[in-house]
Amino acid sequence: MKMKGRKPFFQALILPSEEGWQLRTILKRHYNFSTGLIRQIKHYGLILVNGEEKLLVYKAKAWDRVEVVLSFASKVEPEDLPLDVVYEDSDIIIVNKSAGQVVHPRHQYISGTLANALAGYLVAQGEQPSSFLINRLDKGTSGLLLAAKNPLAALILSKEINSMQKDYLALVSGRVEKDSGVIDLPIEDPKDGVKRTISQDGKDAITRYKVIERFNDCTLLRLSLGSGRTHQIRVHLSAINHPILGDDLYGGFPIDIDRPILHACSLRLFHPRTGVICEAEAPLPDDFSLLLQQYSGSRP
């Protein structure tokens, strides 16, 4: 196990009220360490107390300085690929994904993914190549993706994923007449294939929308998610007869751009270490902007 040069991903001072407690207990009760993470530290990491290695059963003393180091291998091959970093600190990294890029290696996409790019970027920064992607975007969707840079941040963020404010912009077929609305329809995963459907047997899903601009035969919407189902926005908009332009899977009429015109434009979350609100914005990609310019001459 290579620990030399590894930076601790967690540091804390033991309070007088915690004196005599085992480190394991302090980490679980006061710092959100899960049983699984404690197990990883036991087998693949180490704990330093005032610079000296200690076991998890060590009984802490007031004002002990505790550091946790963990070596975790990357599950993807680091690659030197373009990466648009919007925000980064020691715990999280937010990137702006381009349309057409797959997020995780799978099937025929074994390289060139966003995960490969993140691993390569972290290696170039002198950090461990592993990251933990918190939210997902379809291959054709552009915009903001959040990743944790250590397992504790990943654990905390994964519990808060549904409370994060995730906003999207979409250009949809037809004129949406209501200025705003809520789509509350359950979504069922497919038994085969990839297409999701609306079904009472599905999982609860809520999408809120607001009209930004209307054109003759399409509408620009801003959407936010009250849940995080796969293809949720695409399925919901198709269900109200306003599928996203370019989304041939869910009935959007074809355009010159070979992807659904959907962009994750805004992300707002509580930072996993500080609790401070962290916000990020991603400007519209060129293809989306150019399409809007084309439709701007068709306002009613």
Identify the CATH number of the domain defined by range 10-70.
3.10.290.10
Show me where the domains of the chain are located: 10-70, 85-298
Burial of 33 by CB count in 10 Å (0-12 exposed, 13-18 middle, 19+ buried)? buried
d(CA 244, CA 238): 7
Q: What is the mean pLDDT of residues 248-260?
A: 87
Is it the case that residue 119 has pLDDT exceeding 80?
yes
- Asked if residue 171 lies in contact with residue 291, where contact means CB atoms within 8 angstroms, the answer is yes
Per-residue pLDDT reduced to its tens digit, 86-96: 999 989 999 99
Is 248 one of the catalytic residues?
A: no
Q: In the CATH hierarchy, which fold is given to the domain comprising 85-298?
A: Pseudouridine synthase (3.30.2350)
Beta 92-97 vs 85-88: how paired, if at all? Answer: antiparallel
When the pLDDT of each residue in the chain is averaged and rounded to a whole number, the result is: 90
Per-residue pLDDT reduced to its tens digit, 174-199: 999 999 999 999 999 888 778 898 99
Q: What is the mean pLDDT of residues 159-167?
A: 89
Distances (CA, A) of 263 to 65, 102, 162, 275: 44, 15, 19, 27
Catalytically annotated residue among 64, 91, 138, 247: 138
